[in-house]
Structure 1
Amino acid sequence: MKRYFITGLLIWVPLAITVWVLSLIVGTADRVLQILPDAMHPRTLIGRNIPGIGVIVTLFIIFLTGLLGANFIGQRFVVWWERLLDHIPLVNKIYSAVKQVSDTLFSSSGEAFRKALLIRYPHADAWTIAFLTGTPGGDAANHLQGDYISVYVPTTPNPTSGYLLMLRRSDVIELEMDVDEALKYIISMGVVAPPKTASIATGATGRVSDKPDLLQNFPETH
């Protein structure tokens, strides 16, 4: 009976969590309908609420915004809007920080989270997975002698929180692992392991010794 019960849990728990997450997303997106005028609300046009219509409306608004922002007039409007926000105290700090992060993460030309790394953390005898995010900038770069990179160490099972570390390039190993595979490995707390690849010999410092140093090509942002 215990074995059957556990088997039932393994079937229902992932399904229940998936349904819960999708319901949360759909419910959040449906709240977007509250910004629509009553004349455009599906309840007025059709006579009833349609669950999930908010997802379609949200995706359409995002697509339409991107379409308008990609042309000359839209770009001028975005510049004017950002200048307006830049003159509002406190708002300018928050907006500027969030925009820099979003531009780095979502821009097609960005390099953030493009490489999964293996680093020694939190001490010399332990290893963890991290992601390459750039090179140290600002005054921090003036105090670091040598070739350093910035890496993000996510927590598990919630990778949205973590730690920023600045390490020597020679102290990290670039993994033959996609970022998606690495994130899945972290979120599952190591249960869902990516497929194994051919082992690569490493030197005493932990640098990959017999393949091109791809980290060396990462642009500096001093």
Structure 2
Amino acid sequence: MGRLRTYFLTGVVVAAPIGITIWLTWWFVSLFDTWIKPFVPAKYNPDTYLPVPIPGFGLVVALIVITLIGALAANLFGRTIISYWEHFLNRMPVVRNVYKALKQIFQTALSQSQSSFRQVGVIQYPRKGLYALVFISRDAHGEIVDRSADGELVSVFLPTTPNPTSGFLLFVPKRDIAVLDMSVEDAAKLIISAGLVLPDEHAGDAPAPEQVPALTEEQVRRLTEDGSSKDAAE
């Protein structure tokens, strides 16, 4: 029974990540197919000619459309259209706030010039003596720093376990942050696994094997007297 239990747990460790990855990939592809395929004309849709649906066609169409929109927005004509569109949205009380917030989030997340979430640090949270991992974003500026009595502040993201996409935005004095050499990916693994998956540089660490004590001269003499060879005793 102990061996069967070991086999079962090993199978779970191997099969669960593979199964979840395949399920998430299939869900992502099917989501785009559900959204995009109804807008594709029937003569351009391969499902019209083939006996089985082609998974991923909607995702390919979405990637092509997004690329074309980006190419259009890179020239003067496209920027003019976008400016009129934004001017129209700015006249709508609720929609303009949602649009501005989403636009700022995507610009910050996708901008290559930003250095957000490239460092991992440790702060004392929620009280002194307890330590928590944080993702360091950037130095704080403006009114937040002007009204603070702690001087230079850094904005950090404190993720929650096991879902690192949710958490808290904190402004911490720079002197209270200990920057780690750990990568963001290793920190995310540590948070998701609730501390079970250590960073790669420590994952292979294991307790040192116990040293076998050397035989004393008395033990060697007894082994020799019992008929054991001296070489075996040594």
Q: Normalising by structure 2, report the TM-score.
A: 0.76
Specify the alignment match of 1:181 in structure 2: 186
Letter paired with 2:111: S
SS of the residue aligned with 2:200? coil
In structure 2, the gaps of 5 or more residues are 203-234
Contact 1:150–1:167, Cα closer than 8 Å, also in 2 = yes
Contact 2:136–2:154, Cα closer than 8 Å, also in 1 = yes
Residue deviations 1:84-124 (CA, integer Å, cap 9, x gap):
21111101011111111211111111222122211111221
Specify the alignment match of 1:204 in structure 2: none
TM-aligned CA deviation for residue 26 of structure 1: 0.9
Of residues 96, 115, 133 in structure 1, which corresponds to 2:119?
A: 115
Letter paired with 2:73: G
- Alignment of structure 1 residues 50-199 onto 2, 5 Å: 50-137=54-141, 139-145=143-149, 146-196=151-201
Distance 2:50 2:78 in 1: 33
The answer to whether structure 1 residue 8 and structure 2 residue 43 are counterparts is no
TM-aligned CA deviation for residue 48 of structure 1: 4.5
User: CA RMSD of the aligned region, Å?
Assistant: 2.0
Specify the alignment match of 2:215 in structure 1: none
SS of the residue aligned with 2:93? coil
**Relative contact order, CA 8 A, sep 6+: which one is greater?**
1
Letter paired with 1:190: G
**Is the radius of gyration larger for structure 1 or structure 2?**
2
TM-aligned CA deviation for residue 133 of structure 1: 2.0
Identity of aligned residues (%): 36
Distance 2:18 2:134 in 1: 29
Higher helix proportion, which one? 2
Q: Normalising by structure 1, report the TM-score.
A: 0.80
Contact 2:155–2:172, Cα closer than 8 Å, also in 1 = yes
Residue deviations 1:34-70 (CA, integer Å, cap 9, x gap):
2323343332355652112122122222222222222
TM-aligned CA deviation for residue 176 of structure 1: 1.1
TM-aligned CA deviation for residue 138 of structure 1: 5.3
Contact 1:42–1:48, Cα closer than 8 Å, also in 2 = no
Distance 1:82 1:46 in 2: 42
SS of the residue aligned with 1:27? helix
Distance 2:196 2:77 in 1: 50
Note closer, same or farther for the CA distance 1:42–1:154 as it changes in structure 2 (3 Å cut).
Answer: same
SS of the residue aligned with 1:21? helix
Residue deviations 1:10-37 (CA, integer Å, cap 9, x gap):
1211111111111111111112222323
Note closer, same or farther for the CA distance 1:58–1:190 as it changes in structure 2 (3 Å cut).
Answer: farther
Distance 1:62 1:121 in 2: 42
Specify the alignment match of 1:207 in structure 2: none
